[in-house]
Structure 1
Amino acid sequence: MTQTSISSFSYAAQQAQQWVNELAEDLDWNVHRAYHLLKAVLTALRDWLSPEEAADLSAQLPLLIRGIYFEGWDPSLSPATERKKRDFVIRVEKSFGFETNIDFDTAINAVFKLLDRHISHGEIVEVRNSMKKSLRELWPAH
């Protein structure tokens, strides 16, 4: 393996860790919980988008986060048939693991804010516009 590919891999790990650390700080959680939430929200979001929009969003994710995003994806099942806010929150809860002491609306909003900080405004607008109005309420508007 060349030095360039090793440093690229190290950079990818640093970026992924930065995202998880930011989310943990935003929610005052440990990084383990923040990672699981990020994965749960990203995979639910991916399944709510058309395959084309899911791919467009993925192009702006850090390399290792992109791997998490696509893990287990079946594009033939996207977008999900039920795409209401309640269905999205339930999917995140199931993926995260049911914990009664979590306000999932707030947690999901924190992930969306993280995406807002790191993804281009134009892409965020496209993703938000592809969602039902009730789910867009969880995503901060600019």
Structure 2
Amino acid sequence: MLLEFDKYAVKGNEFLNRLEENLQTTDRAHAARVLRSTFRVLRNHLTFEESLQLLAQLPMVIKAVYVDGWRKGNHRKIKTMDDLLIEIVQQDGLNAWDDFSDKDDIVNAVRAVIDTMRLYVSAEEMEQALGTLPRRVQVIFEESDI
């Protein structure tokens, strides 16, 4: 079986292009950092099984972003939306100063990632995965008007 790396790259770039649109930016590096930070936080709070089910529907290259550096034992519970947002900033590291100017920027960035995922992942799977999080956290994942 011949692997079609070009096809994977095309699908990955398509995902990032859509994320850039949802973030209202043309800065590919910014979009990639936001995606990576959001994925790292999500995978730490979703069950391992839910993460695998989400991954199954994402483009191959985007799956790689999700699993990069992932360790199964990192699963933790989160209690509030603010805790989630703080983790997003921490995962973004020093770039957070460039990527987010305030809390609303972080919320909008996370929603842009989730809205982009919704283009690839079934509504049922998104609802099931995000539904495992506490209700106080789920409000950030409600569909936006992007």
Tell whether the structures are fold-level matches, with TM greater than 0.5: yes
Q: Which runs of 5+ in 2 are unaligned?
A: none
TM-score (norm 2): 0.85
Say what the alpha-carbon RMSD is for the aligned residues.
Answer: 1.8
SS of match in other structure, 1:138: helix
* Residue in 2 that maps onto 1:136: 138
* Residue in 1 that maps onto 2:21: 25
Query: How far, CA to CA, are the matches of 2:111 and 2:73 in structure 1?
Result: 27
TM-score (norm 1): 0.87
* Residue in 2 that maps onto 1:106: 108
The sequence identity of aligned pairs, in percent, is: 22
* Match status 1:94 vs 2:115: no
Q: Write out the 4+ residue segments of structure 1 that deviate beyond 3 Å after TM superposition.
A: none
Alignment equivalent of 1:54, drawn from 47, 51, 56: 51
Letter in 1 for 2:101: N
Cα offset for 1:42?
A: 1.2
Query: How far, CA to CA, are the matches of 2:116 and 2:33 in structure 1?
Result: 14
Alignment equivalent of 2:73, drawn from 68, 73, 76: 76
Alignment equivalent of 2:124, drawn from 117, 122, 125: 122
Larger RCO: 1 or 2 (CA < 8 Å, sep 6+): 2
Cα offset for 1:141?
A: 4.5
Q: How many residue pairs are counted as aligned between the two chains?
A: 137
Q: Which runs of 5+ in 1 are unaligned?
A: none
Query: How far, CA to CA, are the matches of 2:90 and 2:73 in structure 1?
Result: 21
Cα offset for 1:140?
A: 2.3
Query: How far, CA to CA, are the matches of 1:42 and 1:23 in structure 2?
Result: 13
The answer on whether the counterparts of 2:79 and 2:136 sit within 8 Å (CA) in structure 1 is no
* Match status 1:35 vs 2:37: no
